[in-house]
Amino acid sequence: MSSIRGRDTLELGGVISDVLDPFTRSINLSVVYNHREVINGTNLRPSQITNQPRVEVGGNDLSTFYTLIVVDPDAPSPSNPNLRELVTDIPATTGGMKLYVMSPRPSKGIHRIVFSLFRQLGRETVYAPNWRQNFNTRQFAELYNLGLPVAAVYFNCQRENGTGDVLDPFTKSINLRVVYNNKEIRNGCDLRPSMVVNQPRVEVGGDDFQTFYTLVMVDPDAPTPSNPCHKDYLHWLVTNIPASTGVTFVLFRQLRREIIYAPENRQNFDTREFAKLYNFGLPVAAVYFNCQRENGTGGRRI
């Protein structure tokens, strides 16, 4: 039953399709960062994976050897994946080897880091390529007659704190609460599209009723994390929000109550430039969540 669930998560995350063909897991593969085992679809920050992972390969046939391939199919894009590490001649029942894997530093969107294990035909029959860019796992497996993988594990990784792509560093000075269906948004939480169909409730703190705010809601990963060519896609912009109110997700303090004009175009919206236009300065609060296709691939931040 566990292998079926594992396969489902690989399909849900797009690993089956973007990286691998469907397969049946026949060997245990364990990847551990800082005493935390990677479960398919886990979200890990770059700061959590700076140390080398510990990799354990199951099996009881010491004459069998494996090749482990680690790729980032989203760097810089699914059509041009990046090879992070490749290790050959791994014996079965290895007691947990330390594997050097370059820590991902995604600058945009959510990146999947995929560990794929293949059974070799024999020892010293597979050789690492001289290139990392535009690496194709299927073609490499075909080149060395590796067949389908025997195990795979993946996790998601995105830029630390979700900052940098949208905002400059700032100090939060106002409470901002965003609630969907009685569930308050915590930075970095995962929500499915079906969970955010209804309008959110947004509460802005503060006790100065002469202060007004502008709320900007953008998607920095549109149309896809690997190809965010729309830059920040503006979902919503609300102005003249009084302090201590609930209204229907970067929050800026306005200089005064005034007319703030929403831009005509939603694509290529730049939060920094918009804030500069109206002299907002740095934001006073921000909240974000991750959202991915209900039964599809990839993920986006809102």
Q: Are 186 and 201 in contact (CB under 8 A)?
A: no
* CATH number of the domain that residue 16 is part of: 3.90.280.10
Highest mean pLDDT range out of 27-31, 44-48, 198-202, 240-244?
A: 27-31
Q: Quick one: pLDDT at residue 91?
A: 86
Residue 291, domain member (yes or no): yes
Do 49 and 154 fall within a single domain?
yes
pTM above 0.75, yes or no: no
Residue 183, domain member (yes or no): yes
Residue 168, domain member (yes or no): no
Q: Quick one: pLDDT at residue 297?
A: 45
- Tell me the residue range of the domain where 243 lies: 176-301
- Residue 13 phi/psi, 5-degree rounding, is -80, 0
Q: Give SS3 for 132.
A: coil
Do 150 and 191 fall within a single domain?
no
- Which two structure tokens, joined as six digits, stand for 56? 């354990």
Q: Across-strand partners of 111?
A: 157
Residue 54 clears pLDDT 50, i.e. is over it: yes
Do 154 and 181 fall within a single domain?
no
Place of tokens 């396969």: 7
Residue 67, domain member (yes or no): yes
Do 15 and 141 fall within a single domain?
yes
- Comparing C-alpha atoms, which of 15, 20, 39 is closest to residue 297? 15
Do 77 and 50 fall within a single domain?
yes
pLDDT digits (tens, 9 = 90+) for 258-270: 767 777 776 777 7
Which has the higher per-residue pLDDT, 96 or 21?
Answer: 21
Looking at residues 41-63, what average pLDDT do you find?
A: 84
Number of domains in the chain: 2
- Comparing C-alpha atoms, which of 274, 245, 240 is closest to residue 257? 240
The fraction of the chain above a pLDDT of 90, given in percent, is 18
Classify 162 in phi/psi space as left (phi over 0), alpha (psi -120 to 50) or beta.
left
Kindly tell me the sign of the dihedral angle through the C-alpha atoms of 6, 114, 93, 140.
positive
Domain endpoint, select from 158, 191, 220 = 158
CA–CA distance, 13 with 17 (Å, rounded to integer)? 9
Strands across the sheet containing 183-184: 183-184, 176-180, 201-204, 245-247
CA end-to-end distance (rounded Å), the chain: 34
Do 20 and 95 fall within a single domain?
yes
Which helix (H) or strand (E) segment is 66 a member of? strand 65-77
* Burial (Cβ within 10 Å: 0-12, 13-18, ≥19) of residue 20: buried
Q: Quick one: pLDDT at residue 121?
A: 93
Do 183 and 212 fall within a single domain?
yes
Do 14 and 153 fall within a single domain?
yes
Looking at residues 61-85, what average pLDDT do you find?
A: 82
Question: Does the bond joining 76 to the residue before it have cis omega, within 30 degrees of 0?
Answer: yes
Do 185 and 294 fall within a single domain?
yes
**Residue type for position 146:** L
pLDDT digits (tens, 9 = 90+) for 106-119: 666 788 999 999 99
Do 141 and 264 fall within a single domain?
no
Residue 96 clears pLDDT 70, i.e. is over it: no
Question: Does the bond joining 46 to the residue before it have cis omega, within 30 degrees of 0?
Answer: no
Instruction: For strands 42-43 and 151-158, give the pairing.
Output: parallel
CA–CA distance, 228 with 246 (Å, rounded to integer)? 32
